């Protein structure tokens, strides 16, 4: 007999299980409204969130500089100017290849048409077979296979980028100014947060949580930035070795795109393959170029990053993918970049906020942190026992034995 479960039933007096159902209803409504507010206010919330994350990253540097006698305002100025210079150098390095690509749009259009024409001729036999099958299924239909259409490459994309450039620049400026004021204020933000708690133990816990957020974000973003820089260098050199145009742009793109888990690598592989399809003959060599990009990103994702990033900071891959998709829906590209840092912050908070232990356990990777009760051990016993079962009936039998053994004194 299968074990049954049901939703809480509403009682006429409004007590008991109906209260739990009402609570879940309120939570559901709150989440819907919260997501709507986050999506609607992204022009303001995106730079604020990014500035707060950068504040946690650079606060240890500010604290170190203060111990060396450097004022907080001077450290904030150096950090802000450093970020401006870094962004300017990236933009300067990418401006040349981007400008050249914009000037070569007619040539790219012509080559794409030629390449798709060659591909259409290569697959002529397959099209002929498909046409014969279609004629057999519908003998009265004398329609020809639809030709492959090549959309014109226009300057609409560049026009859109020029349209949104002022808004993006404004958000960048707002982020940098907010970061400057937060760093220049020293420990004022920490002081206000700690003051909002009552007991001394809660104040200490809040301060330790803030410090751990600093360490976790700094370690994660520091390691990821260095790894991505190495990946960008490797991709740039590989594209140069293949004779691809704009090897510098490929390296910069790989560095930036790799901050987006999974999707960034996919975009890079597709882009490199399409560009190679334009500049190289045939299909084999473009596939080799795309395969080289895929090999480098796979090596980084499967070997290098797990080795250098602390296991404590590794996340549940399913949760990471869903978080990237969710933040992409809410905040587009910036949302995909900040998705994992936000998960890192939530995982740290789960270790300090009462009742969030299981949530932190859910966010963790293959080796989640131990929960201070029997739930984790019991769950592991059931899952490990059921993993060896061939079907649902066998799983019911072996898990029943686990439950019986756990109930014995």
Q: Could you report the average pLDDT of every consecutive run of 10 residues in the chain (409 residues)?
A: 44 52 78 88 89 92 90 93 88 72 66 64 61 57 47 48 67 90 89 85 86 88 90 93 87 90 89 85 85 93 78 75 88 86 88 81 64 59 71 75 72
160 within some domain: no
Q: Which two tokens stand for residue 224?
A: 């990821």
According to the model, what pLDDT value does residue 4 have?
A: 43
Q: What pLDDT does residue 160 have?
A: 53
In this structure, is residue 86 part of a structural domain?
A: yes
pLDDT at 2: 47
Euclidean distance between CA atoms 45 and 334, whole angstroms:
11
Q: What is the pLDDT of residue 365?
A: 65
Under DSSP, the state recorded for 146 is: P
What is the domain extent for residue 83? 27-114+165-186
Q: Say if residue 147 is exposed, middle or buried (CB neighbours under 10 Å; 0-12, 13-18, 19+).
A: exposed
Flag whether 327 is in a domain.
Answer: no
**pLDDT tens-digit series, residues 242-288:** 988 888 889 999 999 998 888 889 999 998 988 888 888 777 888 99
- Whether residue 377 is contained in a domain is answered as yes
> Of 156, 186, 216, which residue is a domain's last?
186
Q: Per-residue pLDDT tens for 197-224?
A: 888 888 888 888 888 898 888 888 888 9
pLDDT at 152: 44
Spatial distance between the Cα atoms of 58 and 173, rounded to a whole number of angstroms: 18
Candidates 160, 132, 77, 156; CA nearest to 332 is 160
The count of other CB atoms within 10 Å of the CB of residue 159 is 10
Is the residue at 242 inside a domain?
no
Provide φ and ψ at 200, rounded to 5°. -65, -35
- pLDDT at site 319: 85
* pLDDT tens digit sequence for 311-347: 666 677 888 888 888 888 888 888 888 988 998 888 8
Give the domain-ending residue among 157, 186, 215.
186
The token pair that represents 249 in the structure block: 């742009």
Count of other CB atoms within 10 angstroms of residue 94: 17
Residue 136 is predicted with a pLDDT of 55
In this structure, the number of other CB atoms found within 10 A of the CB of residue 258 comes to 25
122 in a structural domain: no
401 lies in some domain: yes
Q: What is the pLDDT of residue 78?
A: 94
The confidence score (pLDDT) of residue 220 equals: 87
Determine contact, residues 151/23, Cβ cutoff 8 Å: no
pLDDT for 118 equals 63
The residue among 155, 186, 217 that closes a domain is: 186
272 domain-assigned:
no
How many structural domains compose the chain? 2
**Total-model pTM:** 0.70
């Amino acid at each position: 007999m299968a074990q049954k479960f049901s939703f809480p039933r509403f009682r006429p007096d409004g007590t008991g299980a109906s209260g739990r159902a009402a609570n879940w209803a309120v939570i559901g409504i709150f989440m819907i409204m919260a997501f709507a507010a986050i999506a609607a206010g992204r022009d303001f919330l995106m730079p604020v969130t990014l500035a707060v994350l950068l504040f946690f990253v650079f606060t240890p540097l500010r604290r170190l500089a203060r111990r060396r006698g450097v004022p907080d305002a001077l450290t904030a100025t150096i950090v802000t100017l450093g970020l401006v210079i870094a962004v300017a150098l990236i933009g300067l390095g990418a401006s040349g290849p981007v400008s050249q690509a914009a000037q070569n749009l007619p040539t790219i259009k012509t080559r794409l048409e030629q390449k798709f024409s060659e591909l259409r001729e290569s697959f002529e036999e397959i099209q002929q077979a498909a046409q014969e099958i279609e004629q057999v299924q519908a003998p009265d239909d004398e329609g020809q296979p639809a030709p492959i259409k090549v959309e014109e490459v226009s300057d609409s994309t560049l026009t859109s980028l020029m349209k949104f450039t002022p808004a993006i620049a404004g958000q960048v400026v707002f982020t940098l100014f907010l970061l400057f004021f937060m760093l220049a204020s020293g420990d004022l933000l920490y002081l206000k947060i700690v003051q909002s708690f009552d007991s001394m133990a809660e104040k200490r816990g809040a301060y330790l949580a803030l410090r751990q957020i600093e360490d976790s974000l700094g370690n994660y973003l520091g390691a990821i930035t260095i790894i991505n820089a190495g990946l960008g260098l490797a991709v740039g050199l590989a594209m140069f070795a293949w004779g691809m145009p704009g090897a510098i742009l490929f390296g910069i793109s790989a560095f930036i795109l790799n901050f987006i888990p999974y999707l960034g690598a996919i975009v890079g592989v597709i882009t490199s393959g399409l560009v190679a399809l334009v500049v190289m003959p045939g299909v084999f060599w473009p596939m080799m170029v795309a395969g080289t990009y895929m090999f480098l990103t796979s090596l980084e994702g499967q070997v290098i990053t797990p080795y250098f990033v602390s296991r404590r900071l590794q996340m549940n891959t399913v949760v990471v993918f869903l978080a990237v998709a969710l933040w992409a829906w809410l905040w587009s590209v910036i949302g995909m970049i900040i998705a994992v840092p936000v998960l890192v912050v939530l995982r740290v908070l789960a270790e300090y906020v009462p009742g969030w232990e299981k949530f932190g356990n859910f966010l963790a990777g293959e080796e989640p942190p131990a929960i201070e009760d029997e739930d984790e051990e019991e769950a592991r016993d059931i899952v490990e026992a059921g993993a060896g079962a061939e079907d649902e009936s066998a799983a019911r039998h072996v898990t029943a034995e686990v439950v019986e053994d756990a109930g014995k004194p």
